[in-house]
A and B are shown apart, each in its own frame.
Chain A
Amino acid sequence: MHLSEILATLAANRFATASAILFVVGMAGMIFNRNLFKKVVAMGFMDSAVFLFLTSVGFVEGRLAPIVTDPSVPASAEVYSNPLPAGLVLTGIVVSVSFTAFSLALTMRLYKKYHSLDIDEIMMKSQRNED
């Protein structure tokens, strides 16, 4: 595969390309950023990246949103786009909210106890308390 070919495909699959970059940015934020609050925000970005990719998989050029306008006429699969990815993403969004809330609650408790959001500092303090 030539580089030009690859670039052309990347441009055509722009949603997938963007979500790949977003995913890595979010994951890097989750792993390397020391601020707990930002880890939580980065988690939101990472999840959104996956959802973006999944939704773009369901899109078909020139088809309508999967809501049947006239139920008396049998729907044709040629008219509506694929509804399955949207269903999966809907599930995923709600899951990610509960995780956001949970990790924020943990962050707040840690801030209350150690007065810091820096994970390294918090770990150092908690180990010192233990010894």
Chain B
Amino acid sequence: MRPFYENFPFFCIFLTMLCGIITTLIHDGKKARYVTIISLFLCAAMNATVFIMTAVKGVNFTYTMGAFPAPWGNELRSGPIEALLATVFCLVINFSLMGGKKDLELDVLPEKKNMYYIMMDLLAASLFALCYTNDMFTGYVFIEINTIAACSIVMAKDCGQTIVATIRYLIMSLVGSGVYLLGISILYSITGHLLMPNLFTAVNDIIFDPQLRYPLAVVAGMICIGLTVKSALFPFHTWLPSAHGSATSSSSAVLSGAVLKGYIILLIKIVCRVFTPRDISYLGAGYILFILGAAAMIYGSIWAVRETHAKRMIAYSSVAQIGYIYLGLGLCTTAGIAAAVFQIIAHAFTKPLLFVSAGGLIDASGHQKKLYYLRGAGWRCPSAGIGFTVGGLSMVGLPLLAGFVTKLVLGQAALAEGIPQWQMITALAAIGISSLLNAWYYLPAILQIWKTEDEPLGPNGEVYSEGRYTPSRPFKVAVACMCLLVLILGCAARPLMNILIQGVGLL
């Protein structure tokens, strides 16, 4: 008889799925919203329990999905990192839903609101499954659920622009999942397994076999390409700015905070559990991820500098931040991967904070999306202004905020022993240049929203400065919680990093 808490990952997945199915019958958007938010808080509590139990004992456990043990049946496997990330996703989705409430009411038609929450529920379920799964094919099925749900929450706004963005997103995603599926099919044909631990032994057997080394390298490349297309690494990021920039703000927050990360976690698990990080760099995929990550950090920032549309600027900044994650992953060391996981968590709170508060600022400026019209919006809606400031400063890398710690641990990981010199230099240069560029576009934006003199009139001559705009209470709560979490991550990073390094060892 296993301890009861080991059932919690399974409960989380099925609870959210069942909520999604039942929400079909609830036509009232408000009730659907309550069902979603309550179920997600329950899941957060359950995942946090799993995290505490596993982190304290320093163990991981497997959970057979059914009566049949692993190579025959499905299996979940949970350790500290998986549980922590699942908790983070629950919180992120909840805060985004709370913070984006007002935009949601404007953008989504009332009779279709319950469908939006169905998508959110199943999105959460698929993210949990991607965190916990121990099987490549289960990963594929839940990637597809994730894709369809993510595309649906983009198109929920239902104007021409979002539908164009959705179809671009959908096509790129489908190419990505097709490549991933072909990768696991080839892997199955040369090893005969789909379960990660069995694959690990099989891959260890054949990695130095001259006959099978080439297919294995192709498989590693295909899995990496498939998942990087979906998580918008630099050359494949073209769909991201339009999708994230045009969707309603809670969707953008969820997409950048949680959805992109789901695929990266699967990739990290594959890198650690199917191959070893050393194998990945031996097969050459590690270097490619590293270089692309470094390129993304700079390229995304440069485009963000050129952008005048507030939400698209934040979206381009996502491209750069995803680059940080892949930079850490591409180092192929424990410290590097732990830094990547830390960046996942830090970015998962910072980017939704930015999107949600940008939504609030845009709301307070008569729905003008250009940065120019946001001038002085910080005074009209102080909570959103504070949120934007904290998020932006964290991205720039102000000490005591989450973004600073990311850059620090990434730098430390790059300077560790055993890393080739060119990687060391590239990593440090990329971090430095990217931080400078971040400052270049975030600081003026922050200065602008707090500027009082010569406030602009709207295009039709409206005056926004009169009267304060009052945001709803959930919005304030969400922004306050996320600001607090960014601060906590920035101040108390050391213990978390220790847990992460231990957790990467357990992966």
Question: Does B bind A?
Answer: yes
Chain A residues in the interface with B (C-beta under 8 A)? 16, 23, 26-27, 30-31, 36, 39, 43, 46-47, 49-50, 53-54, 57, 85, 88, 91-92, 95, 98-99, 102-103, 106-107, 109-110, 113-114, 119, 122-123, 125-126, 129-130
Tell me, in angstroms, the Cα distance from A23 to B218 when the chains sit together. 15
Q: Give me 15 A-to-B residue pairs in the complex whose CB atoms sit less than 8 angstroms apart, sorted by A's number.
A: A23-B182, A27-B179, A39-B171, A43-B171, A43-B174, A46-B178, A50-B185, A99-B148, A99-B174, A102-B151, A103-B171, A106-B166, A106-B170, A113-B163, A130-B161
- Residues B164 and A110 in contact, CB atoms below 8 Å apart: yes
Residue of B with least CB distance to A109: B163
- Residues A47 and B178 in contact, CB atoms below 8 Å apart: yes
The 8 nearest A-B residue pairs measured at CB: A57-B189, A54-B185, A106-B167, A126-B164, A113-B160, A46-B178, A50-B182, A50-B181
- Residues A110 and B167 in contact, CB atoms below 8 Å apart: yes
Tell me, in angstroms, the Cα distance from A98 to B171 when the chains sit together. 14
- Residues B178 and A27 in contact, CB atoms below 8 Å apart: yes
Contacts of B189 in A (CB 8 A): 16, 53, 57
Known: A98-B148, A102-B151. A88 touches B137 (CB 8 A): yes
Q: Least Cβ distance of B217 to chain A in Å?
A: 15
Contacts of B188 in A (CB 8 A): 54, 57, 85
Residue of B with least CB distance to A23: B182
- Residues A103 and B167 in contact, CB atoms below 8 Å apart: yes
Known: A106-B170, A110-B167. A91 touches B141 (CB 8 A): yes
Known: A102-B151, A106-B170, A110-B167. A129 touches B160 (CB 8 A): yes
Main secondary structure of the interface of A (DSSP, over half): helix
- Residues A126 and B148 in contact, CB atoms below 8 Å apart: no
Q: Least Cβ distance of A118 to chain B in Å?
A: 12
Q: Least Cβ distance of A131 to chain B in Å?
A: 11
Residue of B with least CB distance to A91: B141
Chain B residues in the interface with A (C-beta under 8 A)? 137, 141, 144, 148, 151, 155, 160-161, 163-164, 166-168, 170-171, 174-175, 178-179, 181-182, 185-186, 188-189
Contacts of A126 in B (CB 8 A): 160-161, 164
Residue of A with least CB distance to B186: A53
Q: Least Cβ distance of A3 to chain B in Å?
A: 16
Contacts of B181 in A (CB 8 A): 50, 92
Tell me, in angstroms, the Cα distance from A15 to B175 when the chains sit together. 21
Tell me, in angstroms, the Cα distance from A54 to B188 when the chains sit together. 8
- Residues B178 and A106 in contact, CB atoms below 8 Å apart: no
- Residues A31 and B175 in contact, CB atoms below 8 Å apart: yes
Tell me, in angstroms, the Cα distance from A47 to B177 when the chains sit together. 10
- Residues A102 and B170 in contact, CB atoms below 8 Å apart: yes
Tell me, in angstroms, the Cα distance from A103 to B168 when the chains sit together. 10
- Residues A57 and B185 in contact, CB atoms below 8 Å apart: yes
Residue of A with least CB distance to B145: A95
Tell me, in angstroms, the Cα distance from A119 to B168 when the chains sit together. 9
**Partner pick for B144 among A53, A95, A123, CB 8 A cutoff:** A95
Residue of B with least CB distance to A89: B185
Tell me, in angstroms, the Cα distance from A119 to B238 when the chains sit together. 14
Contacts of A99 in B (CB 8 A): 144, 148, 170, 174
Q: Least Cβ distance of A36 to chain B in Å?
A: 7
**Partner pick for B163 among A30, A47, A85, A106, CB 8 A cutoff:** A106
Contacts of A57 in B (CB 8 A): 185, 188-189
Contacts of B185 in A (CB 8 A): 50, 53-54, 57
Contacts of B178 in A (CB 8 A): 23, 26-27, 43, 46-47, 50
Tell me, in angstroms, the Cα distance from A103 to B188 when the chains sit together. 29
Contacts of B179 in A (CB 8 A): 27
Contacts of A109 in B (CB 8 A): 163
Residue of B with least CB distance to A49: B182
